[in-house]
Amino acid sequence: MSTHLILLADDEPHITHIISHKLKRAGYEVIVVEDGEMAFKAALEHRPSAIVTDLQMPYLSGIELAQQLAANSSTKDIPIIMLTARGYTVEEELAKLPAVKKLLSKPFSAKDLVRDINELIGTDTEGQAA
């Protein structure tokens, strides 16, 4: 069984540290980047099983990242979980982006995020293909 690769894009190091640690403990391989532009390049290069991205990031926002991924035939089907600290909703914008499967408001539970990823890409609790 192969281990799934998760791309994590967030410009807050304390967030990426916690999420990355939880994902690795769950059996996933993790690539961490700190802005949307780096996330797009990493997605093209590594073709992750899923992407967890912050909504507000430098260079490309999470929405702009999702739009660029959707416009590329090799990345358009990668499922995305969007993290947001915004106090208002962005559902209307996200509704236009079918790859965005979930929106989580900060603060969120890293345990719940791992569960959401497991469900999203069809893995067991060890990050292995079910």
In the chain, where are the structural domains located? 5-120
List 8's β-bridge partners, or say none: 32, 52
pLDDT tens digits in sequence order for the chain, 130 residues long: 358 999 999 999 999 999 999 999 999 999 999 999 999 999 999 999 999 999 888 899 999 999 999 999 999 999 999 988 765 566 667 667 788 888 888 888 889 999 999 999 886 655 554 4
CATH number attached to the domain at 5-120: 3.40.50.2300
Residue 68 has phi, psi (to 5 degrees) of -65, -40
**100-105 and 80-84: which strand pairing?**
parallel
When computed from its CA atoms, the radius of gyration of the chain, rounded to whole angstroms, is 13
Q: What is the pTM of this model?
A: 0.88
* Helical ranges in the chain per DSSP H: 13-25, 36-46, 62-70, 91-95, 110-121
What are 21-48's pLDDT values in tens digits? 999 999 999 999 999 999 999 999 999 9
